[in-house]
């Protein structure tokens, strides 16, 4: 018999961790060697335990999942990282894969698919949720999106400062419909679905500085 896959589970929700731990512990092909509630703890425990696979959420307090993946690579921890999250937009998928994730699954994945994915990750094979694979294929086949315009950057700066659509319209002397149009264009260019994700992705890309218009 082959040795069981040694697994570290990192998620900030205790119920999720308990559920995943129980599911894998019930299968003799896996051994849950530890759990973590945030990215920093995941890095520490991975460095100490050296699991075969780290099942990692992306949105966690303190150190997020993408930062944890990059830190694991920096510390030369050879454990495979399989992302398990609810988010499949470019703003989450691409940074995680670029940071070094072996696979990317969504939390609605069936049990058998998840077990297979962890085994595949342990063997060094990439595993992607169908929606994520389709998104990456579309990304490869589609020319790079246009850069944000000066006006779109201006809109994002105000959004980052907590400005509402109505306030945006008044500040920029445009209609609310035009504000919404700018936001939709921004979402498309950044590969996100909402205001918060747009601001986060803009900061990640260096399109926004820490100081927004409201800081003046």
pLDDT score, position 213: 41
Q: How far apart are CA 69 and CA 99, in angstroms?
A: 6
pLDDT score, position 125: 93
pLDDT score, position 116: 95
Q: Are residues 57 and 78 in the same domain?
A: yes
pLDDT score, position 94: 82
Domain that holds residue 132: 5-141
Cα→Cα distances 128→90, 125, 155, 168, Å: 13, 10, 34, 39
Q: Are residues 171 and 135 in the same domain?
A: no
Q: Are residues 23 and 126 in the same domain?
A: yes
Q: Are residues 14 and 111 in the same domain?
A: yes
Q: Are residues 132 and 93 in the same domain?
A: yes
pTM of the model: 0.67
Token pair in block for residue 106: 């969504």
Q: How far apart are CA 81 and CA 100, in angstroms?
A: 8
Q: Are residues 45 and 127 in the same domain?
A: yes
pLDDT score, position 132: 86
Consecutive H or E run containing 80: strand 80-85
Q: Are residues 10 and 103 in the same domain?
A: yes
pLDDT score, position 215: 43
Among 106, 141, 176, the domain boundary falls at 141
Which residues of the chain register pLDDT less than 70? 1, 138-145, 209-216
pLDDT score, position 144: 56
Domains held by the chain: number: 2
Q: How far apart are CA 174 and CA 180, in angstroms?
A: 11
Nearest to 85 by CA among 112, 59, 50: 59
We report the CATH number of the domain holding residue 180 as 1.10.10.10
């Amino acid at each position: 018999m082959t040795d069981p896959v040694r697994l570290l589970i990192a998620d900030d929700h205790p119920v999720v961790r308990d559920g995943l731990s129980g599911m894998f512990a019930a299968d003799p092909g896996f051994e849950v060697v530890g759990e973590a509630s945030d990215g920093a703890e995941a890095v520490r425990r991975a460095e100490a335990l050296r699991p075969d696979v780290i099942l990692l959420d992306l949105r966690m307090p303190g150190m997020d999942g993408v930062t944890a993946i990059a830190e694991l690579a920096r510390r030369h921890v050879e454990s495979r990282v399989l992302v398990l999250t609810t988010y499949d937009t470019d703003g989450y998928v691409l940074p995680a894969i670029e940071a070094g994730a072996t696979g990317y699954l969504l939390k609605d994945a069936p049990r058998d698919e998840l077990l297979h994915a962890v085994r595949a990750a342990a063997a060094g094979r990439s595993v992607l949720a169908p929606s994520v694979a389709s998104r990456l294929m579309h990304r490869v086949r589609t020319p790079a999106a246009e850069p944000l315009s000066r006006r779109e950057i201006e809109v994002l700066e105000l959004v980052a400062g907590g400005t509402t659509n109505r306030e945006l319209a008044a500040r920029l002397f445009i209609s609310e419909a035009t504000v919404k149009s700018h936001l939709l264009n921004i979402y498309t260019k950044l590969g996100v679905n909402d205001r918060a994700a747009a601001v986060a992705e803009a900061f990640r890309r260096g399109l926004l500085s820490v100081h927004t218009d409201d800081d003046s």
